[in-house]
Amino acid sequence: SALTASQIREAFLQFFEERAHRRVASSSLVPVGDQTLLFTNAGMVQFKDVFTGREQRDYRRATTSQKCVRAGGKHNDLDNVGYTARHHTFFEMLGNFSFGDYFKADAISFAWEFVTKRLGLAIDRLAVTVFNGENNIPWDEEAFELWAKQGVSRDRILKLGYKDNFWAMGDTGPCGPCSEIHYHQGDDIPCVEEAAGRKCQGVACDCDRWLEIWNLVFMQFERKEKDAPLIPLPKPSIDTGAGLERIASVVQGKRSNYDTDLFQGILATVSQLCGKPYTQETGASQRVVADHARATAFLVADGVQPSNVARGYVLRRIMRRAIRHGDQQLGIKEPFFFKVVDRVIELMGDAFPELRDGRTFILEVAKHEEEGFRRTLDRGLKLMDEELSKLQASGGKMISGDVVYLLHGTYGFPWDLTQIIARERGYDVDLEGFKVLQEKEAASQDFHGEKKSTTEVFQTVLARSAPTQFLGYEGEGHEGEGS
């Protein structure tokens, strides 16, 4: 039978150990000494300074399975979760790294050997991409020829642009072209582009027909100053990342990450808790809950707690999104989320002892947050009722951006929920006004330090809006606790 996700993780690390890579433990989801980043979002994060040469290690090849979260900042997959078969907020990224040691030829042959020989994936389902050349940077003919040498058919080596196939650490620093390995899941899968009357973009498409499983970054240039021309690095490096959940899905012959052994146990618990089977209708919400329970368990284990600022605020949004799906879509009216989180700990505690060590605390945090949110959920709905009756009295048809923003930030009502409820009752919401406020908030976020407290942001909003009952806002960290 097919390899389990744990077996795949181990097979990957062993494969690269056999090729002289040092097995290095995953770093924390909270980047150590890096104020520019919200969460660790790729395997290379713990090696940033090694790539730039600022830090030396006693090895030049490494392999990891890195805990990653992409739910805020530059990589934000939060809204995709539940609705694509391949995105998570928390996932594991398998990777191999060369710090000025081997380069493209080995990186490509290692990856191809692992995928086709060790995992045994069918070659006729695979395609690879190379950088097509854009922005005065030449196309990656070298990579193209190296893939062809591995036996990849030339019509399965596709050229993609800067957006998908060029990587840069930042405005300055190391950068270079990438190659991605994609797996064909099937053309009968619905495509978002086709649904909109356009053509499916194949490997470049946002749909789930072609699944990107592995990204190989060839760090061969450096940019000394923003927008300055690229200069070749004397010792080019390799950084690769392959999502374990995606690899598991193709190895296990599934079309969705959620159908793999990594998620089946968690989804079974969600289904049991809501008393509803996993169907087309309940699936998205059950997936949201399962995914967000993983993120919660791992983030709290790594020291993040739900709050109204920076990392804690992202965690709070993740937790509340899950709880809201449980409450509204799945009909669970009692605190349940901590039970799903507990299942995650039970299933993943062997591979990640920090989950087991932190279990009591993690569960307490999850339970406390849900109890608080359930109190605000009621207050938020009440607030909306009041707002709607005011609109009715004045003959207005649109809930103002300020109110959407307040519900979103203070009561944990995502704008789309406000919109759904409003529309049910024949009203609309001022999304434009809401977005303006959100952008203002984003501008006030400074990931070089903590973002401005949400209280401050709300006070600004309140100061500008007409006096309303919202002036009773309790302040940071007290939602749901007040009278």
Give contact residues for ligand ATP (rule: CB under 6 A). Answer: 70, 77, 86-88, 91, 93, 212-215, 241-243, 245-246
Residue nearest to Mg ion (CB): 215
Q: Which does 325 bind (CB under 5 to 8 A by kind): ligand ATP, Mg ion, none?
A: none
Cβ distance to Mg ion smaller for residue 236 or 243: 243
Cβ neighbours of residue 195 under 8 Å, at least 6 residues apart? Answer: none
Residue nearest ligand ATP, Cβ-based = 243
- In the complex, minimum distance from the CB of residue 311 to ligand ATP, in angstroms, rounded to a whole number: 17
Give SS3 for 39. coil
Q: How far is the CB of 8 from ligand ATP (least distance, A)?
A: 12
Nearer to ligand ATP, 298 or 413 (CB): 298
Min dist. Cβ of residue 211 to ligand ATP (A): 8
- The one of Mg ion, ligand ATP, none whose footprint includes residue 241, by CB under 5 to 8 A per kind, is ligand ATP
| CB nearer to Mg ion: pick between 134 and 212 | 212
DSSP letter string over 217-282? Answer: EEEEEEESSTTPPPEEEEEEEEEEEEEHHHHHHHHTT-SSGGGSHHHHHHHHHHHHHHT----HHH
Instruction: Select from Mg ion, ligand ATP, none the partner in contact with residue 387, using the beta carbon and a kind-dependent cut-off of 5 to 8 Å.
Output: none
Q: Is 89 in the site for Mg ion (CB under 5 A)?
A: no
Nearest approach in angstroms of CB 17 to ligand ATP is: 21
Residues 6 or more apart whose CB falls under 8 angstroms from that of 339 comprise 269, 273
Q: How far apart are CA 477 and CA 369, in angstroms?
A: 11
- C-alpha span between 297 and 310 (Å, rounded): 18
By beta-carbon proximity to ligand ATP, the closer residue of 244 and 363 is 244
Comparing CA positions, the residue from 342, 349, 298, 341 lying closest to residue 322 is 341
Nearer Cβ to ligand ATP, position 158 or 242?
A: 242
Identify what 108 binds: ligand ATP, Mg ion, none; CB under 5 to 8 Å per kind: none
Closest distance between ligand ATP and the C-beta of residue 162, in Å? 13
Cβ neighbours of residue 430 closer than 8 Å, sequence gap 6 or more: 398, 399, 400, 401, 404
Min. distance of Cβ 87 from ligand ATP in angstroms?
A: 4
**Sign of the torsion angle spanned by Cα atoms 458, 463, 469, 473:** positive
Identify the CA nearest to 143 among candidates 152, 134, 223: 152
Q: Which of these segments, 115-123, 205-213, 288-296, 355-363, binds Mg ion (CB under 5 A)?
A: 205-213
Show the binding pattern over residues 207-246: x = contacts Mg ion (CB under 5 A), - = does not.
-----x--x-------------------------------
Q: How far is the CB of 398 from ligand ATP (least distance, A)?
A: 34
d(Cα 393, Cα 396) in Å, to the nearest integer?
8
CA distance 169 to 128: 22
CB-CB neighbours of 52 under 10 Å: 15
Residue (86 or 292) nearer to Mg ion, CB: 86
Tokens at 152, concatenated: 């990849």
Q: Which is nearer to Mg ion, 212 or 430 (CB)?
A: 212
The nearer residue to Mg ion, 318 or 383, going by C-beta atoms, is 318
Q: Which residues of the chain form contacts with Mg ion (CB under 5 A)? A: 212, 215
